[in-house]
Structure 1
Amino acid sequence: MEIPLLDFIYKIRYDVSNKTIQFTGAVMKEKKAVFTIALIVINIAVFAVETIAGGSENTQVALKFGAAYAPLVFSGDYYRLFTAMFLHFGAFHLLMNMISLGVLGPAVEKLFGKIRFLLIYLIGGIVGNVLSMYLDVWLDRNALSAGASGAIFALFGAYLVMALSKKFTGLSVPRVLIAIVISLVPGFEMHSINMTAHLGGLIGGFIVSLILLPTVGKKRRLK
């Protein structure tokens, strides 16, 4: 009997998610993911302040708090490439990103180390926002952009480096690639999702992880 394509995709999504959660659980038993937790708390706190200030989906509030907007960025508001990572449009947007950060973050933080994890997350997120702003100018689109998605996809880039590297064991390259593809799929279906930031974050995270890899100590394995 043939399995419908949608059912097949959900089966893969469940399998990959289950393995990833097991992987993350093993990491968190060994050492608390302090920086991952701190980032989640900061994002939630910023969202609360946005809501009190007039609503996280209010354009003026988003601009006031530092959402990325190409005309302003290229006029000198470069800080928006950083601050936009901590802003979200609505509770669902925040929830999905924080769940993803909670699942992906601990392994990168444990295996790369806290400072390297933070560098991967922040630099990858900035790279995603930079590429997004340049594409907006090229397409004359000038859309408002915010969210931690680019930084979270940077962690996917780190996962890929971990899976490819001989310094880490316990991760499968095919599973990581499947997880990346599945996570990118909604972006092709929903125009409100900033695919450029996702892809830019993925590329940025991969490159930063490769650069930092030689500074990681002895071979590490998750049991």
Structure 2
Amino acid sequence: MDTIVQSAASGAPVTFALIAINVIVFIVETFSGGSMNIDVARRFGAMTVGDLERGQWWRLFSSMFVHFGIVHLGCNMLSLLNLGVVIERYLGSSLMSGSVFTAVVYLVSGLAGNLLTWRVQRSRGQYYVVSAGASGAICGLLGVYVAMLLVPGLSSMLDFKAVLFNVALCIAPGLSNKEVNLWAHLGGLVGGFLVAVVYFFLLRA
């Protein structure tokens, strides 16, 4: 078992590092008052519009590593594993390795999702709604798959219907459940797609 884990990690070090960071933060949250505790979440980097406008802009990044409960964490980490490993292993090049690309997509997509969340919540006067989670960053990885559908050499690796189905799964929960941050999902999806388009059609051209 150890050999299998080491082999997987060696093929996708950034994906496994991101999972490890999220899990470690969750464990520390749990032992610091509970991951479902809003005050604990904010202490560990969850964001609100009010916090951001008090100059705590670092929360745009820290919040993508904070989760509310084991189900929230588990679903996000399973998605990160499934999406990240494939991207990291197969999209390497001499210009930008698959690992660097994965890290860039995760961070830029998470930032895009959080910025869109900030703008929407600010326009609605929702200054103290707490947002956290890796969903925006993970939807950004899904956005890479959408971009791959436009690349002849890569589109053959994918099932078009499966990609669209997963895009629907990314968006649908936010339409039916107000506790799910639709804007983080949408912002992350678009952010990841744009990073991938730049990579595939400009940097690798």
Q: Give the structure-2-normalised TM-score.
A: 0.87
Q: Distance in 1 between matches of 2:69 and 2:50?
A: 23
Give the CA deviation at 1:52: 0.9
Match of 2:118, as an amino acid?
Answer: M
Query: Given the alignment of the two structures, is residue 178 of structure 1 paired with residue 165 of structure 2, yes or no?
Result: yes
Query: Given the alignment of the two structures, is residue 215 of structure 1 paired with residue 200 of structure 2, yes or no?
Result: no
Match of 2:179, as an amino acid?
Answer: S
Q: Percent identity?
A: 40
2:118 is matched with which residue?
133
Could you tell which deviates more after superposition, 75-84 or 175-184?
A: 175-184
Q: Is the 8 A contact 1:164 1:173 kept in 2?
A: no
Q: Distance in 1 between matches of 2:204 and 2:124?
A: 40
1:95 is matched with which residue?
74
> Equivalences for 1:1-223 in 2 at 5 Å?
32-112=11-91, 113-142=98-127, 143-168=129-154, 169-213=156-200, 214-216=202-204
1:10 is matched with which residue?
none
Could you tell which deviates more after superposition, 81-90 or 103-112?
A: 103-112
Q: Which runs of 5+ in 2 are unaligned?
A: 1-6, 92-97
CA RMSD of the aligned region, Å? 1.6
1:16 is matched with which residue?
none
Give the CA deviation at 1:105: 0.7
Q: Distance in 2 between matches of 1:148 and 1:196?
A: 13
Match of 1:83, as an amino acid?
Answer: S
Q: Distance in 1 between matches of 2:29 and 2:142?
A: 28
Give the CA deviation at 1:216: 4.1
Q: Is the 8 A contact 1:36 1:109 kept in 2?
A: yes
Give the CA deviation at 1:171: 1.1
DSSP 3-state at the match of 1:53: coil
DSSP 3-state at the match of 1:67: coil
Q: Which runs of 5+ in 1 are unaligned?
A: 1-27, 218-223
DSSP 3-state at the match of 1:164: coil
2:94 is matched with which residue?
none
Q: Alpha-carbon deviations, 1:72-131, whole Å to 9, x = none?
A: 112211100000000001111000100111111111112331101110111011100010
Flag as ranges the 4+ runs of structure 1 deviating above 4 A: none
Match of 1:193, as an amino acid?
Answer: V
Q: Alpha-carbon deviations, 1:19-39, whole Å to 9, x = none?
A: xxxxxxxxx88x721111111
In the alignment of these two chains, the number of paired residues is 189
